[in-house]
Amino acid sequence: MTHPLVEAAAQLRDAVDALHFSAPVTHVYNPLDYAWAPHRAYLERYGSGKKRVVLLGMNPGPFGMVQTGVPFGEVEMVRRWMGIEAEVSRPRDESPKRPIEGFACARSEVSGRRLWGLFADRFGVADVFFAEHFVANYCPLAFLDGGRNVTPDKLSAAETRPLFEACDAHLRRLVEALEPDWVVGVGAWAQKRAEAVVGDLPLKIGRVLHPSPASPAANRGWAEAATRQFLEQGIWLG
């Protein structure tokens, strides 16, 4: 029988593959396509059973999920802590300024290193963290303007409408499969999408500071700030 999250991700992959985007977007990367093998391994290994907490990011970063197929997928954390490494091919239209190197990528994604580093420090081994937690991205696509990252909130309304329809349907399926007590937005934008999509379900919606190096607050000690937010909201205890 097909894993429910794998089936949902395959449907999302195919739905967003059919979409088209205009300037300033020059390239669109869909890691659910070219990095399907590690993404599927992540879902099958860590996405089974009920989860107490689902953390929701916005979309892939250029040196994280874009390379590894895993949300916030900093290469070394995925390889060493999660024990996942699989073949990554190339997107159909690759920007020379943002090559896909897969697990050979030598760049470390700061957001992913901070996020997974906190969980590794607090929970020790990956299996302990994933027993009650799961991390997903709302949108699976990365958008580039040449070599610059374009976040989904910067797209036109005409282009976000079909994109959000596909992503909303996937998020709903994911949450219904995992039955979490909490959906926690990593950043305000993800929190708002969670409220819009699953706010009617019997769960709580929270938020933690995004670990991006573009955030001055995150650069002043993201792990400490995020831990405090997890504790204050009652997502984590003690």
Cβ atoms < 10 Å from Cβ of 25: 18
Instruction: Give the integer Cα–Cα distance in Å for 217 and 134.
Output: 24
Residue 137 falls within a domain, yes or no?
yes
End-to-end CA distance of the chain: 39
**DSSP code of 141?**
-
Q: At 198, give phi and psi (nearest 5°).
A: -125, 15
Percent of the chain surpassing pLDDT 90: 97
pLDDT of residue 126: 98
Residue 72 falls within a domain, yes or no?
yes
Residue 95 falls within a domain, yes or no?
yes
Q: What is the mean pLDDT of residues 212-222?
A: 96
Residue 214 falls within a domain, yes or no?
yes
Residue 238 falls within a domain, yes or no?
no
CATH number at residue 50: 3.40.470.10
Residue 238: pLDDT band with limits 50, 70, 90: confident
Helix axes 157-178, 188-198, angle to 10 degrees: 70
- What is the token pair recorded at 127? 């299996």
Evaluate if residue 2 carries a pLDDT over 90. Answer: no
Q: Which amino acid is at 62?
A: P
Give the SS3 label for residue 52: coil
Residue 80 falls within a domain, yes or no?
yes
Q: Write out the residue range of the structural domain in which residue 14 sits.
A: 4-232
Q: What is the mean pLDDT of residues 8-15?
A: 98
Instruction: Give the integer Cα–Cα distance in Å for 106 and 194.
Output: 33
Largest Cα–Cα distance in the chain? 48
Total number of domains constituting the chain: 1
Residue-wise pLDDT tens digits, 102-120: 999 999 999 999 999 999 9
Residue-wise pLDDT tens digits, 51-76: 999 999 999 999 999 999 999 999 99
**DSSP code of 233?**
T
Cβ neighbors of 50 (< 8 A, separation 6 or more) are 178, 179, 180
27-29: strand order across its sheet: 27-29, 142-145, 148-150
Mean pLDDT (the chain) is 97
Evaluate if residue 1 carries a pLDDT over 80. Answer: no
- Sign, CA dihedral 141-145-151-155, equals negative
Residue 44: pLDDT band with limits 50, 70, 90: very high
Residue 106 falls within a domain, yes or no?
yes
Residue 237 falls within a domain, yes or no?
no
Helix axes 4-17, 36-46, angle to 10 degrees: 150
Residue 81: pLDDT band with limits 50, 70, 90: very high
Residue-wise pLDDT tens digits, 132-179: 999 999 999 999 998 899 999 999 999 999 999 999 999 999 999 999
